[in-house]
Structure 1
Amino acid sequence: MTSKKIILKPGKEKSILHHHPWVFSGAVASSSGNPQPGETVEVLSSGGERLGWAAYSPYSSIRARVWSFDPDEVINEEYFYRKIEAAARLRTAINITKETNAFRLVHGEADGVPGLIVDCYPDVAVVQILSAGAEYWRDVLIDQVQQITGCKTVVERSDVEVRHLEGLPIREGLIRGENLPPRIKIEENGLHYWVDVIGGQKTGFYLDQRQNRKRIMALSKDREVLNAFCYTGGFTLCGLAGGARSVLSIDSSANALTLAAENLALNGFNPALNQWVEGNVFKELRTLRDRNKQFDLIILDPPKFAPTAAQAQKAARAYKDINLLAFKLLRNGGILVTFSCSGGLGRDLFQKIVADAALDAGVEAKIVEMLSQSADHPVALNFPESAYLKGLICVVG
């Protein structure tokens, strides 16, 4: 048993008893044993009740992330192997490879390994180490990912801002194997995509939108489609595969649009059916509005405007602006498919923002479907924050 402990303030054990894995700094009365960043500490109530084991993070407002709520658990290499193996069994159980050869293997807290993200591409695993605890066990976790997946090549994409909050430096690049190709070809729902796992967004591809891309296929037939924040063309290709009359795709990244055009060619689509526009999406939407341009289907998949709840109100303005403009660009009977991937913005607030945008745009709209992340990004019932991707399908008129 470790001599390193954190003791909670009176009444602050409630969330732990409900198996929420985060212990905030304001809930901690004291620590003992001089725990270092990432080390395992025992979590005790103010009355001395043993509540579980957590990774200590002295620099973060999330002071500890719980590994196990079992006071008798031993946190060691075997423990992490069991967790990653269980995550792999879940992906097998939901038959994820039936529709793709690129999927999320470990989804952080939702798979019982806070701070660890693992995405699997053909012969390549991409890991993100996001917390002090995962950093402490980094080499062990990477070894076990290799052992369980069989991937000889491992890429690290620990290049996100949350690492700064944990007191960790940015780290990215090839860490296991050699001769990583500049691009990896994946297959999803009958379409093929080139993925840049080193230079692309997230781990190279938005794997969490898989089912929603498939939904766009079903909605696109004979429609004029606008795909805003198109990245490497996922929704664009699905629109064309679904029989769209035309697609206008906008993104601010020239590199993303170059890869998007290659993806279009890879699948043999007629390039005349799609127009790529490089530019600020907010500005381009206003230009389209001023030109009285109209569409039958609009997809809004913006970047994370509100990573934390503290940024939600500021981000709300941006979400409202793009949705208001989209409503103005829709024909009567048109469809808006709108998303937020901001963890700091709840589903209820997002829906209210979209409702306010429709009101200000002077349109009547109905939600006909609610969307979420793909099944390989599971949502733990004890950790609602893992349900970060929120989507609405709205019909105007």
Structure 2
Amino acid sequence: MAQLVLLPGKDRSLARRHPWIFAASVDRLRGRARRGDTVDVVAANGRPLAKAAWSPESKIRARVWTFDPDETVDDAFFKRRIQAAVERRQMMPELRGQDGLRLVHGESDGLPGLIADRYGDTVVLQLTATGPEKWRSAIIGALQRATGCTRIYERSDSDVRRLEGLEPVTGWVLGEAPDEALVIVENGVRLKVDVVAGHKTGFYLDQRDNRLLTRELAAGRATLNCFCYTGGFSLQALAGGATSVLSIDSSGPALATAADNLALNPQLDASRCEWREADVFDSLRALKSDGQRFDLIILDPPKFAPSAAHAESAARAYRDINVFAFRLLNPGGLLMTYSCSGGIRSEYFQQIVADAAVGAGRDARLLRRLSAPPDHPVALHFSEGEYLKGLLCQVD
């Protein structure tokens, strides 16, 4: 097995159990390794540190599989890790019985570059790095054994694969497409999931708890849902007793699915719901000009800052939409505002939202910090895993 030799002093992050090894930390590769091969990681003095997946084309030159230099990375390794990840979720009462669930959350489950989501009896697999790409067959087999699922669909089509020198890969790897649309039930609301063409693996499972909170807050409130996608927040607001829900998104197909989702839930009052295909930034300005006001506003935009290099431009975009949201709120109104940008840290996001309140001329207080549910854990040694951050604010 090839050895990845680190520069002097560059073993400190591994001592803190951070799983990424950047190119700037590497002295040399002793021996030969192909993309995705497992390499022994050693300190400058030769001390064994870990075993990692080699990625010669990425700035993250290797991702650690195990910090035990004596552990073997083989088919049985992935069987153990995936089984353990599934069992951890089964031990959490609030996750039992969920139709939609994240089973494996990359680095935070000790499996860098591997995402697996379950929708009913269908698992969606996403491989974003060379390591899991190398072990695709073992991973598929381990997922099938751990879940008993009848179908597995691969959605390895994220842009990050290109940074690893990998081409997009999609398609059914176990079973075939169901005859009817895949539907899950989330907190009493039925939702269609498009695992082939939907965002991420088909749905935003990371907002499950926050959608439930929206339901709990919506009673008697005129609600505005921006970047609504397929209407998850909107339907929960209706279920919670919102007096009206205006939902805005620029994607016609997403809104068509949202309308289908509403039709799947005849218990909800469709007359209180309006879907609007439009640019959110333009719509917020128009709503302000028209003098409209709301009691609850949800801002769940796409990723404005995929990396720290985009933080400044993203901050302007986040500030703009939050300024308009604060201006559109009635006294006592609530704002649920989110960022899924890895390049925007939690403290910075709060600063942006605070600046937006000042820009809008509103006094506001933070009621609660919002984050992903426990099937999206964050390893204590891997703060980069905390990508979703949110704030629940109230204005005077």
Q: Same fold (TM over 0.5)?
A: yes
Query: Which one of the candidate residues 162, 165, 169 is aligned to 1:164?
Result: 162
Structure 1: 5+ residue stretches without partners: none
Q: 1:356 is aligned with what amino acid?
A: D
1:287 aligned partner, one-letter code: A
Corresponding residue of 1:138: 136
Residue 396 in structure 1 maps to residue 380 in structure 2: no
Query: Matches of residues 45-194 of structure 1 in structure 2 within 5 Å?
Result: 45-98=43-96, 100-181=98-179, 183-194=181-192
- In the aligned structure 2, how far is the partner of 1:305 from the partner of 1:102? 26
Q: 2:194 aligns with which of 187, 193, 196?
A: 196
| Alpha-carbon distance, 1:152 to partner | 2.0
- Opposite residue 377 of structure 1, the aligned amino acid is H
Tell me if structure 1 keeps the 8 A contact 2:90–2:96.
no
Secondary structure class of the residue paired with 2:341: coil
- Corresponding position of 2:8: 10
Partners of 2:97 and 2:292 lie apart in 1 by: 36
Give the equivalent residue in structure 2 for 1:374: 373
Aligned counterpart for 2:262 among listed residues 261, 264, 275 = 264
**Counterpart position of 1:353:** 352
Q: In the TM superposition, what is the alpha-carbon distance from 1:5 to its structure 2 partner?
A: 1.1
> Quick check: 387-396 or 171-180, which moved more?
171-180
Contact 1:155–1:175 (CA<8 Å) still a contact in 2? yes
Gaps of 5+ in 2: none
1:15 is displaced (CA, Å) by 0.4
Counterpart of 1:311 in structure 2: which amino acid? Answer: H
Report the Cα distance in structure 1 between the residues aligned to 2:182 and 2:95, rounded to whole angstroms: 17
- Shift in Å, 1:115: 0.4
Q: Which moved more, 1:97-106 or 1:46-55?
A: 97-106
Distance 2:230 2:200 in 1: 12
Q: Deviations over 1:319-376 (max 9, x none)?
A: 1111111111111111000000111111001111101111111111100000100110
Q: CA deviation at 1:95?
A: 2.9
Aligned: 1:237 with 2:235? yes
Deviation at 1:214, TM superposition (A): 0.6
Identity %, equivalent residues: 51
Distance 1:364 1:266 in 2: 40
Structure-2 separation of matches of 1:27 and 1:235: 43
Contact 1:254 1:278 in 2 (8 A): yes
SS for the counterpart of 2:39 is strand
CA distance, structure 1, for counterparts of residue 279 and residue 373 of structure 2:
28
Report the Cα offset of residue 175 of structure 1: 2.2
The amino acid of 2:382's aligned partner reads F
**Aligned partners of 1:107 and 1:378 also within 8 Å:** yes
Separation in 2, partners of 1:78, 1:15? 27
Specify the alignment match of 1:273 in structure 2: 272
- For 2:176 and 2:215, how far apart are their aligned partners in 1? 37
Distance 1:218 1:246, change over 3 A: same
Deviates more, 1:303-312 or 1:207-216: 303-312
Q: 1:367 to 1:97 in 2, by over 3 A?
A: closer
TM alignment of 1:221-370, pairs within 5 A: 221-268=219-266, 269-370=268-369
* Separation in 2, partners of 1:252, 1:158: 25
Inter-partner Cα distance in structure 2 for 1:287 and 1:172: 40
Instruction: Supply the AA of the counterpart residue of 2:280.
Output: V
Following superposition, the deviation at residue 289 of structure 1 comes to 1.2
Q: Structure 2 CA distance, aligned partners of 1:250 and 1:179?
A: 30
SS of the residue 2:286 aligns to:
helix
Quote the Cα distance in structure 2 between the aligned partners of 1:113 and 1:379: 13
Give me the whole-angstrom Cα distance separating, in 2, the residues matched to 1:366 and 1:250.
26
Instruction: Tell whether the 8 Å contact from 1:99 to 1:189 is kept in structure 2 after alignment.
Output: no
Per-residue deviation, 1:99: 5.2
Contact 1:99 1:188 in 2 (8 A): no
Compared with structure 1, are the counterparts of its residues 330 and 293 closer, same or farther at alpha carbon in structure 2 (3 Å cutoff)? same
Write the distance in 2 (CA, Å) between the matches of 1:179 and 1:339: 33
Pair 1:141–1:260, CA change in 2 (3 A): same
